[in-house]
Amino acid sequence: MTVPHAGGPQLITYIDRLAGDLDGLQSVMRGPLSGAFDGVHLLPYYTPFDGTDAGFDPTDHTQVDPRLGTWQDVSALGSDHTVMSDVIVNHVSSGSAMFQDVIEKGDASRWAPMFLTLSSLFPDGATEQDLARIYRPRPGMPFTAITLGGERRLVWTTFTPDQIDLDLRSDVAWEYLESVIDALTSAGVTMLRLDAVGYTGKERGTSCFMTEAATRYTQRILELAHERGATVLLEIHGHYLQQVEIARSVDYVYDFALPPLVLHALHAQDLRPLEAWFDVRPANAVTVLDTHDGIGIVDVGANDLRPGDPGLLNPEQIDALVESIHDASGGTSRAATGAAASNLDLYQVNCTFYDALGRDDARYLLARLIQIMTPGIPQVYYVGLLAGANDMELLEASGVGRDVNRHHYSADEITAAIGTPVVAAQLDALRLRRTHGAFSGEFTSDFTDTALTMRWNHGDQEVVLEADVAEGTFALLATGRENTLVCDHTTATTPQ
């Protein structure tokens, strides 16, 4: 069976939290979600998938966790869907066999050069200025004191003490990464998402983020992927001009500016910042509204690393946006964000997109339609697809802020969600995006302060979205159907 072109909609999902295992996911993709998605981004399913960072800290990145299935199951999914998987480039688990060997043997371990310590980068010691310059997305310094071979060392841990940073200056680290890429591509994975790659290029005298070394490492991974028939998506949160620049040299980047700009448009009734982004955004983008992480704010703010570069939103607009999200969610996002919850990030609000819009079905559907109409590959997170609300029980149980947007769905919950008008309308729109000929043609858009028109044309085929964010009204129209009206602002609350 021929794999569809990667340009159609993709689902982002944890396997266990939506469908239990890979076999269950096959059933969901070929059953209630049939026809809506060309591809699927499988969030980490390696051994173990349920570590301290929800799979982004595998002890064995080259094996499928047997509780979820096998590489053969991944290949089966790839027979009729484009499969994207994560290559966790920056770090490995402290519980991995490789790092455990370093703990036992220290520098005598074959794997010792693979891991970055303070002295690896600063053999003569680091100055206060050196350390203050390092960029980290969370409070505090990126080091953890660990005993290696009987000697107390400062090991580089950008994210958590359980995630040990790789030293990509070493051959052994590249042997490891190649083994990961080989395992994935051999199983039919054709899109690789590089997680946290911006933090890989630690260099003295820099912020250690998005350095020239990180660019070189990215290009090396790109070459490895292309040799194996795969493409690469970079996961980078940062100033919007960084995304524009990076997009020129890679296959795909995320459009992380879109979610906060859509929220700003709907909360502040102001489309001008979104219009400004459309004037410069890269075409080779993967669009999202929500992901397994929080709603990014840094992506529309001023440049922290290069003062003088303004953001797409000014500080007052960003503050108002964050407060609007907290108000719309009834304060539940505030309880899941910042110092109120662990897994602290300085640049994200932890909230489902549905709650970020106050569970307003019409405005929520409009947000999704804007995403679907925006050029690029639309990816839809499983919680967002099912119009999920903040899971406060899971947050209370785990204490991890991002878990508010990582609900475990039962089969009955999936059935109930798909039966709601707002979810049914999203699925109809995704099926339209996947199959309508207009989306292989030309895109144009027109904005006023509060109204927009987004249009795709290909020959005599056309799809048009017209909306007013002040009135909360919209209509999606398409040629080639018995009724050209696909949906409007009443659809999300009207039974199908």
How many H helices and E strands in the chain?
Answer: 19, 21
Q: Helix, strand or coil for residue 262? A: helix
CA angle at 276 for the pair 262 and 38, rounded to the nearest 5° = 50
Q: Helix, strand or coil for residue 191? A: strand
- Tell me which of 195, 293, 403, 488 is the catalytic residue: 195
> What is the DSSP track for 65-128?
-TTT--HHHHHHHHTTSEEEEEEE-SEEETTSHHHHHHHHHGGGSTTGGGB-BHHHH-TT---H
Q: At what angle do helices 258-268 and 361-373 cross, to 10 degrees?
A: 140
The CA-atom distances, in angstroms, between 39 and each of 23, 30, 243, 431 are 16, 12, 23, 12
CA gap 484, 496 in Å, rounded: 16
CA gap 379, 233 in Å, rounded: 12
Residue identified by tokens 């660019």 is: 215
CB count in 10 Å sphere of residue 179: 12
**Of 384, 352, 383, nearest to 368 (Cα)?**
384
| Dihedral sign of CA atoms 355, 360, 366, 369 in order | positive
Residue 21 bears catalytic tag: no
Residue 165 bears catalytic tag: no
Name the token pair of 450. 């509060």
- Tell me which of 57, 73, 167, 235 is the catalytic residue: 235
Cβ neighbours for 307, distance < 8 A, ≥ 6 positions apart: none
CA gap 41, 138 in Å, rounded: 26
Buried b (16+ CB within 10 A) or exposed e, 300-311: bbbbeeeeeeeb
CB count in 10 Å sphere of residue 417: 18
Provide the strand spans (E) within 382-434: none
Q: State the catalytic residues.
A: 195, 235
